[in-house]
Amino acid sequence: MSALVLDGKSLSTQSEADLAGRVAELKQKNGGQAPILATILVGADPASATYVKMKQNACKRVGMESIAVEMPAHTSTRELLAQIDELNTNPNCHGILLQHPVPSQIDERACFDQIDIAKDVDGVTCHGFGRMAMDEDAYGSATPQGIMRTLEAYDIDLAGKHAVVVGRSPILGKPMALMLLNANATVTICHSKTQNLPDLIKQADIVVGAVGRPEFIQAAWIKDGAVVVDAGYHPGGVGDIELAPLVDRAAAYTPVPGGVGPMTINTLIQQSVIAAEKALLKG
């Protein structure tokens, strides 16, 4: 029997319809002012520029506005911190996205942590991470939060299941593991240097590929009936997991493309709308 396709593209389209209604209501209550997401792009990396443009387009589709900040590749940490401070104090800016990665001379962690937690809609600050880890109110990192929303939408039961997360990045693997733990899964965190990795993956009821290497995780390592989430995307349209042989063996899987990616962007937009709603309540 074919596996259930966890269609992030379809889910994001449905969510955008709801978000457009919430944005319209916000504008009505706020003198016509739409919620605003600020995007900061440092340097001219083509892939990063494409990702930022996709996020700006998603804002437009739901009626939001965006502030596009573009800074040269030679920007210093001090200059970037100053730009973030300017957006932190702008009452019309509800969310701030600093596109990763930044040029090597910049202290990226310091710049992420300069973002006001109320505007940390991409879930990148240590403060936000800590609150999320403690299961307190926070904006989760957009990719793992989008994965959690997808699993919930398709009624994937997580409680008591063994989830294996392959990857440990601060904005994907680590928050993914903690979100699954908070949802009562039993979680094993692995990475590219883990010994006996195939044996560990074979134990998994839920496999999350977040290692950043094309088809690093082999289909033969994954047991029949597992839920397979591929958070990677590489040239040629492949992810971190060898998906093709799993279409008839997995219980469910996220396609590449069209699975995790659309829900990542949608989650960023959703959290920006939530931030605008909270700001309006505070007056």
pTM for this one?
0.95
Please tell me whether residues 170 and 72 are part of one structural domain. Answer: no
> Looking at the structure, do residues 152 and 189 belong to the same domain, yes or no?
yes
For 146-156, write each residue's pLDDT tens digit.
999 999 999 99
Distances (CA, A) of 243 to 3, 72, 110, 167, 231: 11, 39, 37, 17, 12
**DSSP class per residue in 65-114:** EEEEEEE-TT--HHHHHHHHHHHHT-TT--EEEEPSPPPTTS-HHHHHHH
Assess whether 102 and 206 both reside in one domain. Answer: no
Q: Which residue has the tokens 């955008």?
A: 16
152 in any annotated domain: yes
Query: What's residue 2's pLDDT?
Result: 87
Q: 86 lies in a domain?
A: yes
- Say if residue 283's pLDDT is above 80: no
* pLDDT at position 192: 83
Q: Does 15 fall in a domain?
A: no
Q: Which of 176, 115, 110, 103 is nearest to 143 (CA)?
A: 176
Residues 239 and 206 in one domain: yes
Q: Who contacts 16 (Cβ-Cβ below 8 Å, separation ≥6)?
A: 58, 61, 62, 266, 269
pLDDT, tens digit (0-9, with 9 covering 90-100), for 85-132: 999 999 999 999 999 999 999 999 999 999 999 999 999 999 999 999
Amino acid present at 5:
V
Same domain membership, residue 100 and residue 66: yes
Range of the domain at 147: 142-261
Q: What is the CATH number of the domain that holds 103?
A: 3.40.50.10860
Residues 62-82: tens digit of each pLDDT: 999 999 999 999 999 999 999
Q: Same domain for 38 and 75?
A: yes
Please write the tens of the pLDDT for every residue from 23-71.
Answer: 999 999 999 999 999 999 999 899 899 999 999 999 999 999 999 999 9
8-state DSSP, 267: H
Q: Is residue 277 part of a domain?
A: no
- Report if residue 215 sits inside a domain: yes
Question: What is the count of structural domains for the chain?
Answer: 2
- pLDDT of amino acid 282: 83
The answer on 175 and 97 residing in a single domain is: no
Can you tell me the distance from the alpha carbon of 151 to that of 158, in angstroms, rounded to the nearest whole number?
A: 9
Q: Are residues 223 and 190 in the same domain?
A: yes
pLDDT surpasses 70 at 1 = no
> Do 176 and 228 have their domain in common?
yes
Residues assigned a catalytic role: 55, 99, 122
Q: Is 87 part of a structural domain of the chain?
A: yes
Calculate the average pLDDT of the chain.
96
- Judgement on whether residues 156 and 252 belong to the same structural domain of the protein: yes
Q: Which of 84, 118, 152 is the last residue of a domain?
A: 118
pLDDT at res. 136? 96
User: Do 147 and 257 lie in a common domain?
Assistant: yes
The reply to whether 271 falls in a domain is no
The reply to whether 136 falls in a domain is: no
Q: Is 251 exposed, middle or buried (0-12, 13-18, 19+ CB in 10 A)?
A: middle
CATH number at residue 254: 3.40.50.720
Q: Are residues 254 and 162 in the same domain?
A: yes
